[in-house]
């Protein structure tokens, strides 16, 4: 796996240093411009981009602060690191690195890896550089296909846990994970980011808990992904094999769509049943309200009758008092 470290010395400006097979040379990493536009490489807090380009998995992490190294103007030097995979084992290592970065476990390692010296203004320390290639690990769960976007402060631990439980990353090309402080939700949504966290996403704008797939769908996706991977491995030369593979892939995709359609249909049926139940409850409540209304109307009529009776009695008393007054006057 190739590792690229961006840093600077005391007087020299920022530059990239590539380390491969124990050798170091000045060279920029193959990060697509679209990846770099989503994060602030000069930020002092964690920013992360993970994606595939030309079949290679690329992890670009910025915001690693140096504890002691400063430039000639006494400004804190910030380090960035890019890992570029060469095979499936590298992807397992990158999965571990993503989890470590999200949990804040890489900052000290990266800081210890770089020192200010040499013709490039800085150099890497071989013994510490090995720590940037941890043992790869993977979980047992297939990746959920739905997009999730959330607030960085609220969801960073949840994202780290999810990545640690994955069997593998999604196979699609392009952007997979973005952790940033400069992008709004709409931007990440339009780019089709698989998992996106940003300080610019308010809690009310999150789509983090939406469209969770069922366990059966997870198993189906996992088996489908495995079959597709095996087909891709053995189809290399024969035109007939390639045509057969395309037919098989089309069949698998069709089955996947039919499976999701069935799950969606079942979900609608369940929602319909819930609505029927709620409607029945509303009808019963409405009936009770009608009964209460009728009772209140009956009581109101009784009160009106009593009021009329009292009014009549008061009128009679007034007449009697008037007659009594006339008698006394005579």
Tens of pLDDT, residues 204-221: 999 987 444 433 444 444
pLDDT in tens, 263-322: 677 667 766 666 676 677 677 777 878 888 888 888 888 888 888 888 888 888 888 888
Question: Is 295 inside a domain boundary?
Answer: no
Question: Is 8 inside a domain boundary?
Answer: yes
Concatenated DSSP letters for 10-34?
SSS--EEEEEETTEEEE------HH
- What pLDDT is attached to residue 274? 61
Contact by Cβ (8 Å): 27, 16:
yes
Higher pLDDT, 122 or 281: 122
Contact by Cβ (8 Å): 223, 167:
no
- What pLDDT is attached to residue 240? 64
- What pLDDT is attached to residue 217? 43
Residues 6+ apart with CB under 8 A from 91: 57, 85, 136, 168, 169
Question: Is 102 inside a domain boundary?
Answer: yes
Number of C-alpha atoms within 13 angstroms, CB side, residue 142? Answer: 18
Question: Is 205 inside a domain boundary?
Answer: yes
Residues 6+ apart with CB under 8 A from 138: 92, 95, 166, 167, 168
Full residue range of the structural domain in which residue 53 is found? 2-210
Number of domains comprising the chain? 1
Report the mean per-residue pLDDT for the chain. 83
Distance, CA of 93 to CA of 76 (rounded, Å): 29
Partner residues linked to 24 by β-bridges: 19
In this prediction, residues 147-159 reach a mean pLDDT of 95
- Distance from the first to the final alpha carbon of the chain: 127
- What pLDDT is attached to residue 270? 64
Question: Is 73 inside a domain boundary?
Answer: yes
Helix (H) or strand (E) holding 142: none
Residues 6+ apart with CB under 8 A from 141: 165, 166, 167, 218, 222
Pairing of strands 174-180, 195-198: parallel
Nearest to 84 by CA among 54, 62, 40, 112: 54
Higher pLDDT, 180 or 44: 180
Question: Is 145 inside a domain boundary?
Answer: yes
In this prediction, residues 220-228 reach a mean pLDDT of 48
Q: Is residue 160 pLDDT above 50, yes or no? A: yes
Question: Is 240 inside a domain boundary?
Answer: no
Question: Is 249 inside a domain boundary?
Answer: no
Residues 6+ apart with CB under 8 A from 301: none
Pairing of strands 2-7, 15-20: antiparallel
Q: Is residue 71 pLDDT above 80, yes or no? A: yes
Angle between helices 215-234 and 239-329 (to 10 degrees): 160
Per-residue confidence band for 80, with pLDDT thresholds at 50, 70 and 90: very high
- What pLDDT is attached to residue 118? 65
């Amino acid at each position: 796996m190739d590792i690229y470290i961006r840093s600077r010395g005391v007087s020299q400006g920022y530059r990239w240093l590539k380390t491969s097979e124990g050798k170091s040379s000045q060279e920029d990493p193959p990060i697509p411009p679209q990846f770099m536009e989503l994060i602030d490489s000069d930020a002092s807090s964690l920013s992360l981009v993970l994606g595939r380009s030309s079949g290679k998995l690329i992890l670009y992490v910025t915001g690693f602060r140096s504890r002691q190294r400063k430039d000639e103007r006494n400004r804190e030097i910030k380090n960035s690191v890019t890992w570029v995979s060469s095979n499936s084992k590298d992807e397992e290592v990158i999965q571990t690195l993503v989890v470590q970065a999200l949990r804040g476990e890489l900052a000290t390692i990266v800081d210890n890896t770089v020192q200010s010296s040499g013709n490039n203004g800085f150099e890497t320390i071989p013994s510490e550089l090995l720590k940037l290639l941890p043992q790869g690990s993977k979980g047992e769960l297939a990746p959920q296909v739905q997009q999730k976007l959330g607030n960085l402060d609220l969801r960073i631990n949840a994202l780290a846990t999810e990545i640690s439980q994955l069997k593998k990353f999604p196979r699609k090309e392009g952007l997979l994970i973005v952790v940033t402080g400069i992008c709004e939700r709409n931007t990440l949504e339009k780019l089709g980011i698989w998992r996106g966290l940003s300080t610019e996403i308010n809690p009310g704008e999150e789509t983090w808990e939406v469209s969770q797939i069922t366990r059966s769908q997870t198993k189906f996706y996992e088996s489908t992904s495995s079959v597709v991977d095996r087909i891709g491995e053995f189809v290399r030369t024969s035109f007939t094999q390639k045509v057969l593979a395309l037919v098989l892939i089309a069949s698998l995709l069709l089955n996947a769509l039919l499976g999701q359609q069935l799950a969606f249909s079942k979900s609608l049926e369940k929602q319909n049943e819930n609505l029927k139940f709620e409607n029945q409850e509303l009808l019963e409540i409405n009936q009770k309200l009608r009964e209460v209304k009728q009772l209140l109307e009956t009581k109101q009529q009784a009160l009106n009758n009593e009021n009329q009776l009292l009014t009549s009695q008061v009128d009679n008393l007034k007449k009697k008092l008037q007659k009594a007054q006339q008698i006394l006057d005579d």
